[in-house]
Structure 1
Amino acid sequence: MKPEFPQSAAPLHGASTPARAAGTATTPASVENTGAERDALPLEPWEGPAILLVDLDAFFASVEQLDHPAWRGKPVVVGGDADKHGVVSTASYEARVFGVRSAMPASTAKRLCPQAIWTHGHFDRYREMSNKIMDILRAETPHVQQVSIDEAFLDVTPTTVNREHPVAVARRIQVRVEELGVTCSIGVGTSKTIAKIASDMDKPRGLTVVYPGGERDFLAPLPVRTMSGIGAAAEEKLRTRGIRTLGQLADADLNMLVRLFGKNGRVMHLRANGGDDAPVEQDDIVKSVSNEMTFAVDLTERTDMEAAIATMAAKVGRRLRRKGLRGHTLSLRVKFNDLSVRSVQRQLPNPSDDELAYTPLLYRMVDEIWRPGMPLRLIGVGMSGFDEVAVVQESLFDVAEAAPTEDDVEPVIADARKRRGLIEATDLVKNRFGESAVRFGHELRNDENTTGSAAKNPADYK
């Protein structure tokens, strides 16, 4: 649950936004929505951990409005084509007034707001702006964990050396970000869970503060779905047991929750009570690199499918090399026209960043989850397992796990030195002249059959 307010109807700073989102009449005394008009007021002392969640407001659309002054104050939608299975990546607050939301089918958004300005987006520009903002955050503290192109956690816990109040840090960040031409909303709390929920309470330009000791009062009236990690299925299980709010979840029997959800039940209970020991991960470890393509017209022919797989495999290989990574675990994910999803994983005998070596294996893997004539809406390729010992991650989807066969899969080019030479040569050309400077035939086959949509996968923007 993520309350969204249009700029023209944004709640006044100091209003009871968290309580209103929770459906109660008053704001807990521990919650403060602070704005410029309150900067001079004294702040309550802060003792203990202090975590910020900085969330850039309607980021893609805000950058477009920054770069196109004539678009400011008008509904702007960044996303795919309405007639090609496209989806909305980001909608400006002016478009949200009409009900347009992220991840909505573009056709629905077009119907709701036919006057909106549409653009496929300029992702190099978003990446550039995101990097500038992350530099601002890292100038405040080295303890920064970027979770997507437009979100990051910061640990600004006061120390004996630096006693600056966390709210003062948050206010300064908002000012510096706004000087770049976009805005952000910030949640301040004692944990990542609290900071994340607080950041969603007052948008845009919101600053919601939950002081130490006030976590339980802040969370209690909120619907369980407000908490990250509680999806529709978990919400329904909780509802059948009379648990609808985070306060009820906090009071629930822990053993019952563990029986229902396993170890996640313990985590849910801890967070509902205001606890959360998840650290802000400074090193921002990359766990996987992936790329996927959604098609305007469903694929049914194997030649088209292999062309798409080769294109995705090449993009993943290039990103791996740019990050200096080689992975053990290769994955293939497909979505059918009924929106069902299947995926399959394979362990590679040696870590790889060489798409010319692993693409033929992907061709073999597709036979485990697809049959000729079955219409495919999306294909994705991913690589993970960057540690010395690769471990297959449990998938959220229906995964057909296959052990490696004894049969060798012949690479596209048998000679490893020739493969590496070709890859390095194409990388050099792309580095100098852009990603479209060198393209293989398989990349052109589905070039006109994409939706123009894009996701906010953090791996795609670093």
Structure 2
Amino acid sequence: MNKPQRYIAHFDLDSFFVSVEVLNNPALKDKPVIVGGSRERGVVAACSYAARKFGVHSAMAMKKAMQLCPQAILVRGTRGEYSRFSRWVTEIIAAKAPLFEKASIDEFYIDLTGMDKYFDPYQWTIDLRQEIIDKTQLPISFGLSSNKLVSKIATDEAKPNGYIFIQPGRERDFLAPLPVNKIPGVGESTFITLKEMGIKYIGDITKKSADEMEKKLGKWGADLWQKAHGIHHGEVHSYHEAKSISTENTFETNTADVEFLLSELVRMTERVGYELRQDEKLAGCIAVKIRYPNFDTTSRQTTINYTLRDDELIFAAKDLFHKLYKKGQPVRLLGVRLSELTNHAVQASLFDDGEKKNNLYKAIDDVKNKFGKTFLQKGRTVRKEKE
């Protein structure tokens, strides 16, 4: 029995942060806008197409960006709004798509395989895009093809605010004339090596043998050879696959010591934060659970800006605890849960000192991975030994 033809759509909200800012302030439309942190130490989180014409791009140091485009309008960013719009688009897609993956705060894959028995996948995708635009007013592009890789590359070619369908069997022809660094994962180092091999366009790779590519670049070379031929077997992973990360602790002795309870709350939040980063996820919701000696259990949750940072998670957890805890009552169990998980979006954490913070957490996690999760703890979580 023949396998059904695969159809994978890739959606990407165009200059997402900038688009949200323009919706909230229409005077920014068509202007060179940069969303990010401070002029001296910040990093570009996103920029408008007008700013890109000057060579500005995301993840660039703000200082350099302002040198390239001194007339740019700098917006510090309203992260809560980005989370809100991201959830809105997610809800629209979830209501229609049979299977979708939220790859980041502004990027989605939809598996339409088998739907061609009932209607045209291309028209269905066009209609969904239009619904998103009509409801949110956000520009969004998509690529549709037989696999995730080609669809993602097609989306980049469709921008801004457009769409492309690569017919099954036409993947290699579509890729051939594109620069080789259009393939995700081809960084500056690999790009230089490929140029030294006489490879400038994706089609140049197809003129080499798989063995030749592997000999020069190892397994990555063989993988590149397959990608250049439009071959990619990555699956669309359901957005609901990873529902939550949680931890809880039942105390040996019931306690009403608030300082102790808060130190435990911080410790547990750090633990789930660590697991979140190991899974390369962001959390959009946090919950705290308290159980009393009579087994009366209460919990409270709140939506948060998508994050992976302990300090932001701890702030939200402590706020929930103070709203939830019955003063003076001993506690039997305490728990913390992170939910609304989505894949790690680098651009979601590029504001202000975001890069510095992220490097700090990476260093902390590296130490924990080497010496154990409890090797580093916040001062508050380390209880003093009795003298």
TM-score, structure 1 length as denominator? 0.55
User: For residues 178-217 of structure 1, what are the structure 2 equivalents within 5 Å?
Assistant: 178-179=133-134, 180-217=136-173
Partner of 1:242: 198
User: Is 1:323 paired with 2:320?
Assistant: no
Partner of 1:358: none
Aligned in 2, Cα 1:269/1:105: closer, same or farther, shift over 3 Å?
Answer: same
User: For residues 59-458 of structure 1, what are the structure 2 equivalents within 5 Å?
Assistant: 59-83=16-40, 85-159=41-115, 163-179=118-134, 180-282=136-238, 283-285=240-242, 287-289=279-281, 313-315=310-312, 321-323=336-338, 379-381=359-361, 402-404=370-372, 412-414=380-382
Paired AA for residue 50 in structure 1: Y
- Contact 1:289-1:382 within 8 A present in 2 as well: no
1:380 is paired with a residue of what secondary structure? helix
- Contact 1:51-1:157 within 8 A present in 2 as well: yes
2:203 is paired with a residue of what secondary structure? helix
2:81 is paired with a residue of what secondary structure? helix
Name the CA distance, whole Å, in 1 between partners of 2:30 and 2:194: 41
Aligned-residue offset at 1:234: 1.7
Aligned-residue offset at 1:112: 3.2
Q: Deviations over 1:432-459 (max 9, x none)?
A: xxxxxxxxxxxxxxxxxxxxxxxxxxxx
Aligned in 2, Cα 1:170/1:210: closer, same or farther, shift over 3 Å?
Answer: same
- Contact 2:368-2:374 within 8 A present in 1 as well: no
Percent of aligned positions that are identical: 30
Q: Which moved more, 1:140-149 or 1:67-76?
A: 67-76
Aligned in 2, Cα 1:159/1:313: closer, same or farther, shift over 3 Å?
Answer: closer
Name the CA distance, whole Å, in 2 between partners of 1:199 and 1:405: 40
Aligned in 2, Cα 1:201/1:139: closer, same or farther, shift over 3 Å?
Answer: same
Q: Which moved more, 1:209-218 or 1:91-100?
A: 91-100
Aligned in 2, Cα 1:313/1:205: closer, same or farther, shift over 3 Å?
Answer: closer
Structure 1 spans left out of the alignment, 5+ residues: 1-46, 292-310, 326-340, 342-375, 385-391, 417-462
Name the CA distance, whole Å, in 2 between partners of 1:111 and 1:97: 13
Aligned in 2, Cα 1:405/1:144: closer, same or farther, shift over 3 Å?
Answer: closer
- Contact 1:257-1:266 within 8 A present in 2 as well: yes
Name the CA distance, whole Å, in 2 between partners of 1:135 and 1:126: 14
Aligned in 2, Cα 1:383/1:184: closer, same or farther, shift over 3 Å?
Answer: farther
Aligned-residue offset at 1:82: 1.3
Aligned in 2, Cα 1:323/1:382: closer, same or farther, shift over 3 Å?
Answer: farther
Aligned in 2, Cα 1:266/1:76: closer, same or farther, shift over 3 Å?
Answer: same
Equivalences, count:
288
Aligned-residue offset at 1:109: 2.4
Partner of 1:56: 13
Aligned in 2, Cα 1:127/1:313: closer, same or farther, shift over 3 Å?
Answer: closer
1:280 is paired with a residue of what secondary structure? coil
Q: Deviations over 1:2-40 (max 9, x none)?
A: xxxxxxxxxxxxxxxxxxxxxxxxxxxxxxxxxxxxxxx
Aligned-residue offset at 1:114: 3.0
Name the CA distance, whole Å, in 1 between partners of 2:155 and 2:97: 19
Paired AA for residue 278 in structure 1: G
Paired AA for residue 323 in structure 1: L
| Structure that is richer in helix per residue | 2
TM-score, structure 2 length as denominator? 0.65
Aligned in 2, Cα 1:175/1:411: closer, same or farther, shift over 3 Å?
Answer: same
Aligned in 2, Cα 1:199/1:250: closer, same or farther, shift over 3 Å?
Answer: same
Aligned-residue offset at 1:116: 2.7
Q: Deviations over 1:199-227 (max 9, x none)?
A: 01132111111100101111112222110
Aligned in 2, Cα 1:409/1:173: closer, same or farther, shift over 3 Å?
Answer: closer
1:402 is paired with a residue of what secondary structure? helix
Name the CA distance, whole Å, in 1 between partners of 2:27 and 2:282: 36
Aligned in 2, Cα 1:409/1:96: closer, same or farther, shift over 3 Å?
Answer: closer
Name the CA distance, whole Å, in 1 between partners of 2:16 and 2:89: 11
Name the CA distance, whole Å, in 2 between partners of 1:65 and 1:409: 42
Aligned in 2, Cα 1:170/1:378: closer, same or farther, shift over 3 Å?
Answer: closer
Aligned in 2, Cα 1:409/1:62: closer, same or farther, shift over 3 Å?
Answer: closer
Name the CA distance, whole Å, in 2 between partners of 1:171 and 1:276: 23
Aligned-residue offset at 1:186: 0.6
